[in-house]
Amino acid sequence: MKRNILITGGAGFIGSHVVRLFVEKYPDYNIINLDKLTYAGNLANLKDVEQKPNYTFVKADICDFDAVCEIFDKYDIDGVIHLAAESHVDRSIKDPFTFARTNVIGTLSLLQAARLKWEAKPERYEGKRFYHISTDEVYGALEFDDTLFTEQTKYDPHSPYSASKASSDHFVRAFHDTYGMPTVVTNCSNNYGPYQFPEKLIPLFINNIRHRRPLPVYGKGENVRDWLYVEDHARAIDVIFHEGKVADTYNIGGFNEWRNIDLIKVIIRTVDRLIGNPEGYSDELITYVTDRAGHDLRYAIDSRKLKNELGWEPSLQFEEGIEKTVRWYLDNQEWMDNITSGEYEKYYEEMYKGR
């Protein structure tokens, strides 16, 4: 079946994996990648698909309502997979306005454009879908002995990032309840894998080990995250876009909880082994620094609903995923060096200065 699918944020980390999967798996779909190319957007993430006939890139800001409406008209969009966002918690602590603008107003602008364009058609919402990608951070933080986040867990965001994502989730659900738009929302745990911007824990630490820079562990390193390989997330998005129930919510997670400090030791061991350093060589780089403000203690997702209803589960064991990931960053040093030249040093200085 022919479809025209708008993927927002397709030049970012997760978005690039989703674009690649859809372009390759569905030659009959036209995939339109809308991305503003902020510091986090990088067309080098999509080098291998940019020449495909079913792929189009459009540089635009999701907050620019007129530009978004034009894209809906020009490409006759009938499905949206919305990933564009400001995504880094530490940046949201320094600059919450940008997060409210992109994540809340940007999402609203897409919803309103979709509504106006789809309602103007004789078939209205038939065959349409608006899929919003959200995060487990909207549920707040768990204690070590709490049970996992389910789809029924009450929203309790703590950072400006998660507050902005929670707000955008509410707008998406409101557009279903008010206008009947066929929406779906997913809340996913921490992703890892190739093409992640080196402000996030795993690529940052791999790169710092390579350059023998300190590894800034927040607080005591006791916080827990649930890690999922990014291609497994992209597969889940594919399944839910096609088979998820309208107006429903699905949690996506890895059933793979790691205390930060334990994960960091795995990263150090893997990088040292692959570079040819003696075991324990880079342990001395571990540096405990001032904790992140409002640092959520633990996230852990119960994704049994997705497994039971749609048959999805993570395919990759963590040991295999982390080995693949470290290898990828070491093999793609040019990609990393391009990103970390220019503005990056300034960001790094500001983020870690005085901690």
> Residues 84, 201, 206, 322: which binds ligand DAU (CB under 6 A)?
201
236 Cβ partners below 8 Å, 6+ apart?
186, 188, 250, 252, 306, 312
Residue 204 found at the interface with ligand NAD (CB under 6 A): no
**How many angstroms separate the CA atoms of 309 and 99, rounded?**
33
**How many angstroms separate the CA atoms of 235 and 188, rounded?**
12
189 or 282: whose CB is closer to ligand NAD?
189
Going from the C-alpha of 147 to that of each of 2, 266, 299, 304, 305, the distances in angstroms are: 43, 26, 10, 13, 15
Kindly report the number of other CB atoms within 10 A of residue 2's CB atom.
Answer: 10
> Residues 118, 125, 197, 250: which binds ligand NAD (CB under 6 A)?
197
106 or 321: whose CB is closer to ligand NAD?
106
> Residues 6, 32, 89, 172: which binds ligand DAU (CB under 6 A)?
89
Minimum gap (Å) between residue 89 Cβ and ligand DAU: 4
Q: Is the CB of residue 247 less than 8 Å from the CB of residue 184?
A: yes
Q: Which does 257 bind (CB under 5 to 8 A by kind): ligand DAU, ligand NAD, none?
A: none
In 224-295, DSSP assigns E strands to: 224-229, 249-252, 257-259, 286-289
Q: Is 137 among the residues known to form the active site?
A: yes
Residue 165 found at the interface with ligand NAD (CB under 6 A): yes
Residue 260 found at the interface with ligand DAU (CB under 6 A): yes
User: Within 52-111, which residues bind ligand NAD (CB under 6 A)?
Assistant: 61-63, 83-87, 102, 106
Coil, strand or helix: which one is 135?
Answer: strand
Dihedral class, residue 9 (left if φ above 0, else alpha if ψ from -120 to 50, else beta): left
Minimum gap (Å) between residue 123 Cβ and ligand NAD: 28
Q: For the chain, how are helix, strand and coil distributed in percent, rounded to 5?
A: 45, 15, 35
**Which strands sit side by side in the sheet containing 55-59, from one edge to the other?**
55-59, 29-35, 3-8, 79-82, 129-135, 183-188, 249-252
**How many angstroms separate the CA atoms of 78 and 4, rounded?**
6
Residue 217 found at the interface with ligand DAU (CB under 6 A): yes
Q: Which does 35 bind (CB under 5 to 8 A by kind): ligand NAD, ligand DAU, none?
A: ligand NAD
Q: Which does 254 bind (CB under 5 to 8 A by kind): ligand NAD, ligand DAU, none?
A: none
Coil, strand or helix: which one is 228?
Answer: strand
Q: Is 136 among the residues known to form the active site?
A: yes
Say which of 86, 136, 151, 199 is annotated catalytic. Answer: 136
CA atoms within 13 A on the CB side of 143: 2
Count, residues near ligand NAD per rule CB under 6 A:
30
Q: Which does 13 bind (CB under 5 to 8 A by kind): ligand NAD, ligand DAU, none?
A: ligand NAD
Residue 140 found at the interface with ligand DAU (CB under 6 A): no
226 or 282: whose CB is closer to ligand NAD?
226
Task: Report the run of H or E that residue 351 belongs to, with start and end.
Answer: helix 344-352
Residue nearest to ligand DAU (CB): 135
User: Within 138-157, which residues bind ligand NAD (CB under 6 A)?
Assistant: none
Residue 40 found at the interface with ligand NAD (CB under 6 A): yes
Residue 131 found at the interface with ligand NAD (CB under 6 A): no
- Active-site positions read 136-137, 161
Which residues in this chain contact ligand DAU in the complex, by CB under 6 A?
87-89, 135-137, 189-190, 200-201, 204, 216-218, 223, 225, 260, 292, 299
